Amino acid sequence: MSVLSDLPAAVPERDGPRIVGIGASAGGLSALEAFFAQLPLDTDCAYVVVQHMAPDHPSLLGTLLQRVTALPVSDAQDGVVLAPNTVHVMPCDGALTVERGCLHFRATHKVPGVRGPHLPIDGLLTSLAQDQGPRAVGVILSGMGQDGMLGLQAIHKGGGLTLAQQPDTAAFASMPQSAIDAQCVNVVAPPQDMPAHIVQCLQAPTSKAVSTPLPSDAPPADALQAIVRLLHQQHKHDLSLYKPSTLRRRIERRMHVHQLPTMAAYWQHLQTHPQELALLFAEMLIGVTAFFRDPQVWLDLSQEVLPGLLQQPRTGPVRAWVLGCSTGEEAYSLAMALQEVQDDLALASPARAPSSVQIFATDLNAAAIAVARKGWYSAQALADMDPVRRERFFVPHDGGHLIRPEIRSMVLFAQHDVVQDPPFTQLDLLSCRNVLIYFNATLQRRLMPLFHFSLRPAGVLVLGSAETVGRSQSLFAALHPKSRIYRRNEQTLLPGSVDFPIHRALKARAAVQELSVPMSVSNSSSNLQALADQVLLQAFSPAAVLVNAEGDILYISGRTGRYLEPAAGKANWNVHVMLRPALRAQVAMALRQALQERQPVALHGLPLEGDGHRQLQVTVQPLQEPQALAGMAMLVFKEVVAAGAAGPQSAQPNAALVAELQSAREEIQALRHEMHTSKEELQALNESMQTANEELQSSNEELTTSKEEAQSMNEELQTINGELQTRLDDLALAQSDMQNLLNSTDIATLFLDNDLNVRRYTEQAVGIFHLREADVGRPLSDLASTLDYPQLQTDVKETLRTLAPCAKSVLASDGRWFSVRIMPYRTLANMIQGAVLTFVDISVAKALEFRLREAQVGAPSSGVAP
């Protein structure tokens, strides 16, 4: 049901931290880093992160996020109790949920090569909404597809806080945009700004009285009604008859998001931020629904109400109206219940023909209607349904469940505002559960006679557990008072007691009202004349209707009940539908001719139902002036005495009339033949179109499946690519560190592979081997060296064979001495992949060594005897 939903006066106190569920997919790594880089360390919240990833690819997300935040980041473990100021990341592909403040993780085991849609973000956020209620916080960041939308809707319905990344800041905007389009997002912001919004909203109370005096620049009336008028101007839905307390709570929720102290300040915010009006209207339309909600009500309906409706003799279908259907759960519940009862009746009486069923399901929320039309529901939405019923009426699809075609075909969904749109009529059952509680007493009293008008005799009305028929007890009798099931009484409604809504923004009606005579009496004689003219028009003018080019009735004058009659079903104020059957064809032709030729057309001798002594004359007068009525027509009805009742002379046949009648009959016959031919052609075309539609539908399903598989693979590749790019950056940094380290040691170093080819060298090695960049990959034997070391290549091979280091002192051609050390090159896996040669300049040490030797040799010869 999508109506204004009450919030608790305050978020209920519970043990444990507030839990923030965060979902991301392709392009989400940078958004997550921006989010956690700005996250304070003392929010007292636990953060659970789910990102799409390949089933066979371990996640490095925890390591990457730990680099940007001081909060402890860990892989989610099954059964872990969530603690404040911690971050938990889904370690690999699977299902991560929250129950009683604990994490539950189940890895997904997929068959290799088989891929399908997987919605882990929806699973986390939906479980969070069920476990935490209004304490839940949901965040959707960059990603492709619609994963997370249903989860945010669940949190939003439960009164929690929902945030989505601003689409123009996301690498892939599909996921946040889907949530925004579903009208279930409280805050739209870049990821780096989201932590501040979360802290502000969590610190603000959920509800408080707005008693601050209005500033001098406040709206002319009170701020609440001014805001309601803004919503009406923007969205064309009148919320003024909803309970003020309900309106105030929903508005205060948006006030707290923007940290505005008064309702007047929020009104001023709406003036400068038109997009906030859409978010406020979405806040008003919160659907609270479930399959077979209140099981006792459905048990009473199935056992004592629905069998009687299906067994009644009838020529048409069983007609029902589910008002405030939200995302369709209640409408489909009614369809399933009717089908179950129908099957039971078929078992009891096999010869009985099944009754057709037509259910009208309406709601004010267009986004909810779109979800209902799809008929797809997540596993969490059907978790409480009986498994037998679930298997009978649903088929697995896209990681959830799709309603079966035989149930889907029973229900017609439409956007509808019960306050101002015409109702459905000739109904056997009307379900208006948990809708009236959000309306004030005036609107409730207005709707009860309307419901009585919509129902057939002995029709059934079903209300919510907290709703009653109020003062309209004469209109309805209680069948099951506890379940709030009522039967329509045969009570005659007084004229004018049904306030019939007609929601038509017709300029012509406004023009007619402007041209009408004012009813207020004043001292001027012109008003007295106007009153007299009004009396003469009402008493003596013929019946007439003003219609537009399509035949919609814009204005009615006089008594037209003998010529016009409302049709069964949804109210339709079109003259072609409301005319008596005997008049429709000829009046339609006359209206078309008059509008095309812009000349009056008169019809004579039309029959009147139930009156053989009088006939009807209809004049169709096209209008060109005044300008407001241009293109419209006035239909004037006048009754005359039938030709057969005028006297003997009038009974004589008129040859001209006989010829005209014969011509008309031939023309009608030709038109009938043409219509029959056209009907057959249209039937054949319709069958061809249905066949083509089925083929296109099948192709579309295949394309949709292929698209979703490709999208899933692309998201996984995007995630892997982001992690690999980060790893490459780390490797590049490590390589730079190593290169700088080698250069800072001032040691000539040469790296060889197993074939003694040059792999890498330092700058100091250039002076020894005359190396260039092109020498990488050349054999050691091709390099010219300044060292007097002919056995260098032999020593390298011996080191690779024995894995024992080799060290020697070698003289260079320029007189320098080098300490040469040869060692095997070992990888991290302890594999030998070449050799490392280091050349340390020891010329100074050698010079000192030679001097020392010379001193030691010359010391005895210089001695003197005592």
Q: Name which of 806, 834, 830, 832 is nearest 820 in CA terms.
A: 806
Chain mean position to CA 787: 76
Write b or e for each residue in 176-211: b if 16 or more Cβ atoms lie within 10 A of its Cβ, otherwise e: bbbbbebbbbbbbbebbbbbebbeebbeeebbeebe
Q: Looking at the DSSP assignment, which residues form a beta bridge with residue 462?
A: 431, 485
CA distances from 60 to 38, 65, 88, 606, 727 (A): 21, 9, 13, 84, 10
Round to whole Å and give the CA distance between 588 and 633. 12
Q: Looking at the DSSP assignment, which residues form a beta bridge with residue 74?
A: 88
Report the C-alpha dihedral over residues 447, 449, 453, 454, rounded to 10 degrees: 30
Q: Which amino acid is at 628?
A: A
DSSP string of 291-356? TT-SHHHHHHIIIIIHHHHHHS--SS-EEEEEES-TTSHHHHHHHHHHHHHHHHHHHH-TTSPPPP
Cβ contact 490:457 at 8 Å: yes
Q: Name which of 582, 587, 596 is nearest 635 in CA terms.
A: 587
Active site residue 147: yes
- Give first-to-last CA distance, the chain, whole Å: 124
CA distances from 557 to 539, 540, 846 (A): 11, 11, 126
* The pair of three-digit structure tokens given for residue 347, joined into one six-digit string: 């078992």
Q: Name which of 173, 181, 171, 172 is nearest 150 in CA terms.
A: 181
Cβ contact 399:118 at 8 Å: yes
Own/partner long-range contacts of 530-535 (Cβ < 8 Å, ≥24 apart): none
Q: Mapping DSSP to helix (H, G, I), strand (E, B) and coil, where does residue 845 land?
A: helix
Active site residue 25: yes
The DSSP output letter for 757 is: B
**Residue 433 CB contacts under 8 Å (≥ 6 apart), including other chains:** 1, 293, 294, 297, 324, 330, 462, 463, 464, 467, 484
The DSSP output letter for 621 is: E
Which helix (H) or strand (E) segment holds residue 833: the answer is: strand 832-841
The DSSP output letter for 642 is: -
Provide the edge-to-edge strand list for the sheet that holds 817-826: 758-761, 748-752, 832-841, 817-826, 806-811
Among residues 25, 174, 178, 472, the one annotated as catalytic is: 25
Q: Name which of 543, 574, 546 is nearest 559 in CA terms.
A: 543
Round to whole Å and give the CA distance between 25 and 31. 10
Q: 274-284 vs 223-235: helix axis angle to the nearest 10?
A: 100
**Residue 722 CB contacts under 8 Å (≥ 6 apart), including other chains:** 27, 29, 30
Number of neighbours of residue 385 by Cβ within 10 angstroms: 20
User: Checking DSSP bridges between strand 832-841 and strand 817-826, what pairing results, if any?
Assistant: antiparallel
- The answer to whether the peptide bond before residue 626 is cis (omega within 30 degrees of 0) is yes
Q: Looking at the DSSP assignment, which residues form a beta bridge with residue 603?
A: 618
Chain mean position to CA 26: 19
Among residues 2, 5, 52, 454, the one annotated as catalytic is: 52
Among residues 147, 300, 363, 841, the one annotated as catalytic is: 147
∠ Cα 675 676 680 (to 5°): 115
Q: Which of the residues are catalytic?
A: 25, 52, 147
